[in-house]
Amino acid sequence: MGKRILIIAPYPPKSAPSQRFRFEQYLSYLRKQGFNITMRPFLSQKGWSTLYKEGSTVAKIMTLSGSFIRRWGLMFSLSKYDHIFIHREASMVGPAVFEWMIAKVFQRKFIYDFDDAIWLPNYSDSNARFQKLKMYKKVNKIMRLADRIIVGNDYLKDYAQTYNNKIQVIPTTIDMIKVHNLDGNPKNEIPIIGWTGSHTTMHYLEELIPVLDELSKEIAFKFHIISNQPMTIERDYIEFIPWNATTEIQDLAGINIGVMPLTDNEWSRGKCGFKALQYMSLGIPPVVSPVGVNTSIIKHKHNGIVSSNHIEWKNGLYELLTNENLRREIGQNAKQTILKTYSVEANKMQYLKLFE
């Protein structure tokens, strides 16, 4: 039997982007290399659905209680595993008690992985009343307890170095073979600008709307918002596309330009550029704010457009909307960037080395 890996994560498999694009898409490769992998999420699929509903306080308490009981039980089976890998946190609320038990009580080393500035408060409206239970600063404790840390970009690495000196950067990556395997930037009669994300990140679009309003007076285009909820702002050029796991890539491949506006703050600087990576993997030119890792991924007018202010956003979008050849050239350069640096194929050996 090959070496056994225990993966401890917050969410059920195939449900959260941070897990899907950090480690889940490498699991089949690791299994082919002979590793026996067990994944133990804090939340079950039913618990995941319950926790992110409005209200249902009693059901949420019951869900969390059951999750804690399962975590306690897991602690007594750690000896079965050769490697322990923790993504973000062992429990979604409370202090780092399970990480402390793994390292101090059971004397086991673990690899700690995260891809956002998760030491900062960040929560949905449906769970605002519980946000103090998250104990965000426990991340610092977990980093001290970890044997090694894996992060998604240099900004996160710089923060983690205060607590641990064994840190490796592995970018959030795209599966160009099984998932993002279509060609985008189609020949639409009216070009389509697109944005994808959850409703919790839709506020980043608020500063872009005035730019789009001005553009709409000069040139015809559509703006597709691919999300779990529609935007509260309504415009004739905006079309809401409900996010669906089975049509996600097809919906993205239907746009001509992808946008990733960000506000420059500590949380945004910790992001791993995933929206831009998705557009680029499909040959779609991205237009991004120069925040965090975006400035490392994007070379202006080579594999994307970097826009810092209202005028630059308007000019960049106008140029791409009116120049199909430029869209295609930047899109193809963007795709090559993903294949070379940000694809699963380009990074799978890094994951293999973690466990050898």
- Count CB atoms within 10 A of the CB of residue 256: 25
| d(C-alpha 350, C-alpha 347), whole Å | 6
Selected residue with higher pLDDT from 189 and 183: 189
193 and 224 Cβ atoms separated by less than 8 Å: yes
Radius of gyration of the chain (CA): 21
**What percentage of the chain has pLDDT greater than the value 90?**
77
Residue listed under structure tokens 């050996």: 349
C-alpha distances in angstroms, 89 versus 8, 23, 68, 138?
A: 8, 14, 13, 9
Confidence of residue 132 (pLDDT cuts 50, 70, 90): low
C-alpha distances in angstroms, 336 versus 62, 127, 330?
A: 48, 40, 10
Confidence of residue 125 (pLDDT cuts 50, 70, 90): low
Kindly report the three-state secondary structure assignment for every residue of 25-89: HHHHHHHHCCCEEEEEECCCHHHHHHHCCCCCHHHHHHHHHHHHHHHHHHHCCHHHCCEEEEECC
Over range 322-350, report the average pLDDT. Answer: 96
pLDDT digits (tens, 9 = 90+) for 63-83: 889 999 999 999 999 999 999
If you average pLDDT over every residue of the chain, what do you get? 92
Residues in the chain: 356
pLDDT at 57 over 90: no
Confidence of residue 242 (pLDDT cuts 50, 70, 90): very high
Over range 171-196, report the average pLDDT. Answer: 91
- Count CB atoms within 10 A of the CB of residue 148: 15
**Which of 120, 113, 115, 114 lies closest to 136 in space, CA to CA?**
120
Strands (E), 174-216: 192-196
Confidence of residue 353 (pLDDT cuts 50, 70, 90): very high
Eight-class DSSP state of 292: T
pLDDT at 319 over 90: yes
pTM of the model: 0.89
**Cross-strand pairs, 5:** 37, 83
- Which is it for strands 148-151 and 167-169: parallel, antiparallel or unpaired? parallel
**Which of 17, 18, 9 lies closest to 115 in space, CA to CA?**
18
Over range 154-164, report the average pLDDT. Answer: 96
Locate 346 and state its tokens: 């380009």
Confidence of residue 16 (pLDDT cuts 50, 70, 90): confident
H or E segment and range at residue 169: strand 167-169
pLDDT at 307 over 90: yes
**What percentage of the chain has pLDDT greater than the value 70?**
95
Q: Which amino acid is at 139?
A: V
Domains of the chain and CATH, by start: 4-170 (3.40.50.2000), 192-342 (3.40.50.2000)
pLDDT at 128 over 90: no
**pLDDT at position 122, please?**
67
344 and 25 Cβ atoms separated by less than 8 Å: yes
**∠ CA(294), CA(124), CA(75), 5° rounding?**
90
Phi, psi (deg, nearest 5) at residue 236: -65, -30
pLDDT digits (tens, 9 = 90+) for 100-122: 999 999 999 999 999 999 999 86
**Which of 84, 208, 96, 203 lies closest to 141 in space, CA to CA?**
96
